[in-house]
Amino acid sequence: MHRILADDLSRLPELLQSARDFAAREVTGVSDRPVVGLDRAPGRESLPGEGAGAKGALARFAERWAPGFSGSAGPRYLGFVTGGATPASVAGDWLTSAFDQNVSGAAGSWATALERETVAWLRELFGLGEAHSGAFVTGATVSTTVGLAVAREWVGERLGVDVSRAGAAALGPVEVLSGCPHSSVAKALSVLGVGRDRLRLVPVLPGREAVDVDALEAALAALDGRPAIVVANAGTVDTVDFDDLRAIAALKERYGFWLHVDAAFGGFAALSPAHAHLVDGLDAADSVCVDLHKWLNVPYDAAVQFTRRRDLQVRVFHNAAPYLGPPSGEPDFLHLTPENSRRLRALPAWFSLVAYGRAGHREIVERNVALAARLGEGVGALDRLRLLAPVRLNVVCFTLAEDPTPERVAALADAVAATGEAFLTPTVYGGVPGLRAAFSNWRTSEADTERVLAALTEALSD
Ligand SMILES: *Cc1c(COP(=O)(O)O)cnc(C)c1O
């Protein structure tokens, strides 16, 4: 063994302790540091010939890189839809690395069973029935890619084409309909060989991001019996609008389509009795995507995918190798997702669900919703700002009351970031450049929301 490795091995507990101390300081203090680093990243160094040991690596990281890392785990990073990491999920994540399991049934570990237990808990949390099976993936984009891969296979089944063998080209053009799809849907269609251009936008309701179900029905009727894929949205990123899932699912009685629901963060509405109606009908979906690194507040990267057609999923993702044997009974995860080898991504979620339960996670969701409403009121009360949409759940979408050019809105975002107090991200809603403040972090408090409002006020006075 190389002498530095041997030295690290002999001091393993001490090394893990120093990493723990460093992490604890960083995470505890995240609220007191600037939310985003504004300085340029350091230049690239050459590959170390001789190593510095784990302690040396930690020192170098702390000195060179950590100062420019954002406070995205903290309470006032409201860009994108970010989410932090609950204390228990961080512990679970550490242990995922420490145990370093390859989640494959053939690998001689209980890790597969733990992932199955976690998927079953999540299914229940989101109000899905036993007909849905699921697996962990890295994020909503991959979750949607898996769901649409199964959808593609289903279209093939309808047309008498085995897509997994014959290829996507054998299908001919596939119809994909959606009202207000997330950008990841087009990406997934590109990856799957269906093609970005096959995504057809169906009109949305006036002043909304929810699909006009009558228009969707008309589009389906015009297909004359050709099978289609419908991507419904449960929580759009700008205004957190929800398609009427129940009404869309009811169309399945008359039209043949696969229903995929992108519930990346909107699925968490199911945790709040006051908002659960927004995801009524979710269980009728053929496939569902839910992100976990957003509103479950587990570390990147984690999402779950669900489907009612695991048989088709296995057809797509089956990894045939003599040493693996055929996927019989409950298929191994390596026959269900793009990866073969995969980390025990379920463990952080398992830790958080055990630690805080349904009630704890419900409280996070409800607090974030209340705080978004509070910020929405505050923004509405500022003369120089106006809301671009009502605050439906956890996102405040707003712009300058006057002359909201892309440049002026970007300058406002920069001025907010420069206060060090908050981070918001730009968007364009209804053709108007604006900013979004998305609440999904477990730590965000009322005091934080006031600090965000103060940062906005300060940025506007520049
Ligand atoms: C974030 C998000 C995605 C993509 O999720 P990733 O985890 O970044 O892959 C897809 N759909 C919606 C609605 C989202 O909010």
Confidence of residue 116 (pLDDT cuts 50, 70, 90): very high
Strands 228-233, 175-178: parallel, antiparallel or unpaired by DSSP?
Answer: parallel
Does the Cβ of 391 fall within 6 Å of ligand 1? no
Q: Within 13 Å, how many C-alpha atoms sit on residue 167's CB side?
A: 3
Mean per-residue pLDDT over the chain, rounded = 96
Q: Give the residue from 288, 307, 342 where a domain finishes.
A: 342
Does the Cβ of 184 fall within 6 Å of ligand 1? yes
Q: Which structure tokens are listed for 272? A: 């709040």
443 pLDDT more than 90: yes
- Please compute the mean of the pLDDT values over residues 282-295 and round it to a whole number: 98
Ligand 1 atom having least distance to the Cα of 144: 10
37 pLDDT more than 90: no
Task: Note whether 176 and 83 are same-domain residues.
Answer: no
Q: What is the CATH number of the domain that holds 193?
A: 3.40.640.10
Task: Note whether 274 and 156 are same-domain residues.
Answer: yes
Task: Note whether 392 and 454 are same-domain residues.
Answer: yes
Please tell me the distance from the alpha carbon of residue 243 to that of residue 266, in angstroms, as a whole number.
Answer: 11
Centre of ligand 1 from the C-alpha of residue 382, in Å: 30
Does the Cβ of 291 fall within 6 Å of ligand 1? yes
Of 401, 406, 398, the residue nearest 424 (C-alpha): 398
Confidence at residue 163, expressed as pLDDT on a 0 to 100 scale: 97
Confidence at residue 180, expressed as pLDDT on a 0 to 100 scale: 98
Please tell me the distance from the alpha carbon of residue 184 to that of residue 34, in angstroms, as a whole number.
Answer: 30
Confidence of residue 321 (pLDDT cuts 50, 70, 90): confident
Task: Note whether 82 and 147 are same-domain residues.
Answer: no
Task: Note whether 188 and 304 are same-domain residues.
Answer: yes
Does the Cβ of 296 fall within 6 Å of ligand 1? no
Confidence of residue 323 (pLDDT cuts 50, 70, 90): confident
Domain count, the chain: 2
Task: Note whether 290 and 330 are same-domain residues.
Answer: yes
Does the Cβ of 232 fall within 6 Å of ligand 1? no
Task: Note whether 163 and 282 are same-domain residues.
Answer: yes
The residue whose CA has the least distance to atom 14 of ligand 1 is: 264
Centre of ligand 1 from the C-alpha of residue 265, in Å: 8
Task: Note whether 126 and 210 are same-domain residues.
Answer: yes
Task: Note whether 83 and 107 are same-domain residues.
Answer: no
Centre of ligand 1 from the C-alpha of residue 31, in Å: 25
Does the Cβ of 140 fall within 6 Å of ligand 1? yes
60 in a structural domain: yes
348 in a structural domain: no
Strands 228-233, 257-262: parallel, antiparallel or unpaired by DSSP?
Answer: parallel
Of 141, 120, 142, the residue nearest 132 (C-alpha): 120
Helix H or strand E encompassing 369: helix 346-381
Task: Note whether 370 and 299 are same-domain residues.
Answer: no
User: Mapping DSSP to helix (H, G, I), strand (E, B) and coil, where does residue 13 land?
Assistant: helix
Sign of the C-alpha dihedral, residues 177, 178, 182, 183?
positive
Domain extent for 433: 30-37+52-87+357-462
Please tell me the distance from the alpha carbon of residue 119 to that of residue 136, in angstroms, as a whole number.
Answer: 8
44 in a structural domain: no
- Please compute the mean of the pLDDT values over residues 280-306 and round it to a whole number: 98
Does the Cβ of 265 fall within 6 Å of ligand 1? yes
325 pLDDT more than 70: no
20 in a structural domain: no
Q: Give the residue from 342, 373, 395 where a domain finishes.
A: 342
- Please compute the mean of the pLDDT values over residues 197-217 and round it to a whole number: 98
Give CA torsion, residues 427, 306, 304, 360, to 10 deg: 90
Q: Give the residue from 296, 316, 342 where a domain finishes.
A: 342
Helix H or strand E encompassing 232: strand 228-233
Ligand 1 atom having least distance to the Cα of 265: 15
Task: Note whether 328 and 378 are same-domain residues.
Answer: no
* % of the chain with per-residue pLDDT over 90: 95
Q: What is the CATH number of the domain that holds 60?
A: 3.90.1150.170
400 pLDDT more than 80: yes
pTM metric for this prediction: 0.97
- Please compute the mean of the pLDDT values over residues 385-392 and round it to a whole number: 98
